[in-house]
Each structure stands twice: as C-alpha cells, then as structure tokens.
Chains A and B, each alone.
Chain A
C-alpha cells in the first residue's frame, strides 16, 4: 500500500511547516526527499513514523512494521553492536549479525559496547539495525552523515541489496547520494 498524506497541516506555534500538504509515496520503492534546511523534512518523517501527530489531515498506509535511521544514531550505548541489533530483531543469531557487520566494514568489534565506537562505526550500526529489522517500511533521515567517501560507497551498495522491494523513504541533502541508488527512485523536493 502506498503511503498517502492527505491535507496534512503541521505547525510549531506560529511557524507553519505544512499547510494542507498532500503527498504520495509508492510502495516497494525508494522515495528520496530533498530540500533545504527548515523545510520540514524531518517533521515529515516523524509524521510518517507516528512520532508526531498532524494538526489536521490524515496519513494512510503507515500502520505497518517500521524501522528507521534517525538523524542521531539513537543506540543503546551500554550494549554491543550485536546487542543493539538483536534488540530490534531477536530472531537473528549472533553469527548472522556478525556476518552482516563484516559486510560494511565492522570487524573485531562485535561485543564491544557501542559507546567505545567512533562516530562512523556508530552510524553503521544504526544503519544495520534499521536494515536487519524485519520491517515493511524503512525511514532514513540523512543516513550517511558522518561516513567517509569509501565507507559511504560500501554502505550504499550494501543498502541497495537490502532495500530491494521494500518501501523506503530517505531524506538527504546530497544529490549524489540519491543518484547512487539508480534511476528507479521517486524523487520529491519540498
């Protein structure tokens, strides 16, 4: 089912973010949302995730199992990378998670608490957590921030494989990041 925003309005005090805003995000496809700062990209994602309620209007198609990469990593710092991922998908074995971690360059750090990780490592764990969660809808808010060029390329290749046939909404500032996912994307500018 597509995700539909119908006449959605949202304001913070006097500041109107959306006024009777309508949007359709196709199912099983990657939708990339671009736009300058303060336009409400993160608010839009929070509305879709159900973390915020619209002042008026309605959102359809988002009552499914969701996963997300937030602007911040939002990891449990006392847990290991494996622990963080098992928290959202307890069915995964330790070995399976370790295999997936290796694919994005996270080696020899499986059981270290993530508070000891570098910024880039934490980001990769946050991405992996979202991708390995058995969700129908994946929401990514500037997922590659803080990653160096090579790591970003590795992670994008890995992500392409994992998001196939999933409904994905990604916010980015970087046109190149959107282009890296090929031509079959749904590009939205707000």
Chain B
C-alpha cells in the first residue's frame, strides 16, 4: 500500500467521524439544553478535567482489571472446555443447555441474580466472564471440529505426538475462530461489564461514576465517561488483536 493509498484510507475512516461529531455539535446547539445534550466540545472539556484527577485513573484501572480479568478467564476456561467437549461428546452434550442459557438469558437477569450471590465488587468480573465464555467456547469448539479429518488420519498413521498435533494441526485451524471470538467478545465484555457496574455500583468503578452522573443529571459527565469507556475498549481491542496476530505469525514461523 503506497502513501497516497494509506492517506485515502485514513481519510475514508476520518470524514464520517467528523461528520457525526459536527452533527452532534449542531443538534446540541439547536436543543440548547445542558440536561438533554451537551456539545462534543463540552464533553472534551470534562474529559480534560477528569484526567487531571488521581481518582479518575484509579477508577479506570479498577474497572479495567475486573472486566479484562473476566475476559481472560473466559478465554482460558472457554478454550479448555471446548477442547474437552471436542474430545468427550458427553461433556459437549452436558454443556449445551448451559451455553444456550447463557446466550439467551438477558444480561440484566444475570446481573440481578449475581447481586444475590456475591458482593457487587466482583460483579463485573463475573458478568464479563459470563458474556465471553459461550462465544469463545463455541468458536474454539467449531475450530477444533472443522480440523481436516484427513490431516488427523495422517497424524495417526505417522504417530505424531499429541503436543505436535496440537501445535501443527489444531492451533492453526483454531486461531481464525479464536480471533473472531475475541473480536466479538471484547466489545461485549465492556458493554456487559459496565452495565453490571451501573446496576451493582461497586465503589470506585466507572459504572458507579456513570450512575452518579445520571443521578445528578450531569449529562456531560455521562458522555465523558462513555467516551472513556469507548476509547479504552477500542484501544484494548486493537492492541489485543495485534498481539494475537503477532503470536499467530510467530507460531507459524516456528
């Protein structure tokens, strides 16, 4: 891709963002109410106030650790249970109602139920985990099941060790499914994790700050926190997928 093409590509991403920000700004001027809609410039102003506060960073860190903790836990356990389900049909049969239930029950129901079971401090870990687990489980299982049967036979004939089979046959097959699962669930874990914090209001969380802003009708703060969440979510997704791609490329070169 040459410089001109890169520039064009960037521009094609940038102009719609500018268009919508301008529209938002114009609508906020027309409405002219700080309670209903503030302009993007006001939101940016509030953001600058936030980032100067030490509490802001501890709040962001607290929510980040919990939500990403749940996400990583789901990656690990979802992959593990998918591998077990691929090997033992009984486990797959046993798990399907659970996976279906998690996929279909509204996240709000889980949040409320979870509040009965444990402290709101760890609620976002649980909810983030719960939303990511079925996606990773389903995708990894699909990846394993789609592994070329003929290659598996080849490995059997040549008596290739289990470690080498996993490394050379299964992982290259699973990786695209795993990546797609991560891409979908990263956005979802932030949405559900923050929703859990808004309902559970654990002290020192982004959800609590959002809820407080709502209670005091601080529309600008609500939007500023929303922008913070979107930025963190997008940056983490980009970084995570980039690292994953690098690991995959390194794995293939090995």
Which residues of A are at the interface with B, using a C-beta cutoff of 8 A?
49-51, 65-68, 70, 72, 74, 76-79, 83, 87-88, 90, 113, 129, 133, 139
Contacts and interface: CB of A to CB of B under 8 A. Distances in A.
Contacts of B252: 78-79, 113
Contact of A67 (B153, B158, B168, B169): B158
A38 B168 CA distance: 33
Looking at chain B's contact residues, the main secondary structure is: helix
Nearest to A83: B168
Interface string B155-166: 011111000100
B153 A87 contact: no
B169 A51 contact: no
Given A79-B168, A113-B252, A49 B151 contact: no
B169 A66 contact: no
A72 B150 CA distance: 9
Given A72-B150, A76-B168, A139-B157, 17 more contacts: A51-B153, A51-B156, A67-B157, A67-B158, A68-B154, A70-B153, A74-B150, A74-B153, A74-B154, A76-B151, A76-B169, A76-B172, A78-B172, A83-B168, A87-B160, A129-B158, A133-B158
B172 A49 contact: no
A70 B150 CA distance: 9
Contacts of A70: 150, 153-154
B168 A51 contact: no
Interface of B: 150-151, 153-154, 156-160, 164, 168-169, 172, 252
9 contacts: A51-B153, A66-B158, A76-B168, A76-B172, A77-B172, A87-B158, A87-B168, A88-B158, A139-B157
A113 B252 CA distance: 9
A136 to B, nearest CB: 12
Nearest to A126: B154
A24 to B, nearest CB: 22
Contacts of B159: 65
Contacts of B150: 70, 72, 74
A18 B153 CA distance: 22
A88 B151 contact: no
A68 B157 contact: yes
Nearest to B248: A78
A25 B214 CA distance: 83
Nearest to A130: B158
